[in-house]
Amino acid sequence: LKHFLTIEGLSKSLLTEILDTAESFAGVSEHQVKKVPLLRGKTIVNLFFENSTRTRTTFELAATRLSADVINMNIATSATSKGESLLDTIRNLESMFVDMFVVRHALSGAAHFIAQQTAPHISVINAGDGQHAHPTQAMLDMFTIRQLKPDFSSLRVAIIGDILHSRVARSEIQALNTLGAAEVRVIAPKTLLPAHVESLGVSVSHNLTEGLKDIDVVMMLRLQKERMSSALLPSESEYFKCFGLTEEKLKIAKPDAIVMHPGPINRGVEIDSKVADGPQSVILKQVSNGIAVRMAVMAMAMQTAAPAPGRSGGIHT
């Protein structure tokens, strides 16, 4: 696990190891994530070319809990605004004795590109690339599910909304199938589904009230307006009427179903506030779990990476 770029192709045992490692970092409650010296002397750079609240902050908290030094690059005020290329930005940061890049970028493949180009001792973690992948989000969601419903083989999971533009959906589908979920069902209008979506290993419904039947885990997604042309954009009120999750519609799922959402949520568009803030919602638990899961991914990646040339791994002087 030198780099963590995608869930695709990873084994069930590796995903389980990430979840188990995260569990070892999580305390008896989310408020007691342990601080450990595992990455003391390591420097981690958060490179967020796209905005973020949850992912960037929990990566920073996770790195701090691992005792690493963390730099949050402010892309808006960096020299990229003067025309510096992504590769030149990376080369310059590498020269500052960096050990890991955490990358979010609007272009699918950006994290892979950096991983290919960067020095051999540097790990790259994908914090979301375009419509492609958001692997740590998928892992923190698997961690949250496992806490509440430990037997994946009995679970029917519905992923609802804008599957077409969602990197989260792709990574969730891969993780759920790898961990052996009984069924992954996507529920969306045809216009918000990728072509040949069944080939991803899912069943498909275009009707929320039919699709929620027998579901244990309800995962809501927001409409990714920033990735849609205005011609494709559905009316929000029409969308809510057909695909918005209300208390009434949630009753169709199993009575003990949990409601998830990677955030940010758009209240009254894909989810009603009564559900988002209701007793079945685990949305904020997902956020808390991001710390321990991102600690696990960073610690495992650093353990696999080659030692930095000319450095013993101690604290930089």
Q: Is 206 in the site for ligand CP (CB under 6 A)?
A: no
One of 128, 135, 161, 244 touching ligand CP (CB under 6 A): 128
Residue 288 touching ligand CP (CB under 6 A): no
Sheet holding 43-48, edge to edge: 69-73, 43-48, 100-105, 123-129
Question: Considering only 4-12, 200-208, 219-227, 258-266, which stretch makes contact with ligand CP by CB under 6 A?
Answer: 258-266
Residue 261: phi, psi to the nearest 5? -160, 130
Q: How far apart are CA 180 and CA 259, in angstroms?
A: 20
263 scored as a contact of ligand CP (CB under 6 A): yes
Distance, CA of 65 to CA of 36 (rounded, Å): 6
52 counts as binding ligand CP under rule CB under 6 A: yes
Tokens standing for residue 286: 């997902």
82 classed as catalytic? yes
53 lies in the site for ligand CP, by CB under 6 A = yes
161 scored as a contact of ligand CP (CB under 6 A): no
Q: Is 55 noted as a catalytic residue in this protein?
A: yes
Residue 316 known to bind ligand? no
Contact partners, residue 268, CB within 8 Å, separation at least 6 = 236, 240, 244
| Region of 21-29, 49-57, 76-84, 181-189 interacting with ligand CP (CB under 6 A) | 49-57
Q: Does 262 bind ligand CP (CB under 6 A)?
A: yes
C-alpha count within 13 angstroms, C-beta hemisphere, residue 146: 20
Closer to ligand CP by Cβ: residue 53 or 303: 53
Asked if 104 is an active-site residue, the reply is yes
121 is in an annotated binding site: no
Nearer to ligand CP, 1 or 221 (CB): 221
Number of residues that bind ligand CP (CB under 6 A): 9
Which range of residues in 48-56, 148-156, 243-251, 301-309 is near ligand CP by CB under 6 A? 48-56
Minimum Å gap between C-beta 126 and ligand CP is: 11
Angstrom CA distances, 151 to 146, 173, 183, stand at 7, 17, 13
Q: Which of 137, 171, 266, 281 binds ligand CP (CB under 6 A)?
A: 137
Cβ(173)–Cβ(201) below 8 Å: yes
Q: Per the residue annotation, which of 112, 132, 134, 185 is the catalytic one? A: 134
Binding segment (CB under 6 A) for ligand CP, from list 21-29, 50-58, 208-216, 237-245: 50-58
**Site for ligand CP, residues 54 to 73, rule: CB under 6 A:** 54-55
Q: Show which residues are catalytic.
A: 54-55, 82, 104, 134
Q: Which residues bind ligand CP (CB under 6 A)?
A: 52-55, 128, 137, 262-264
List, as residue ranges, the binding site for L-aspartate. Answer: 82, 167, 222
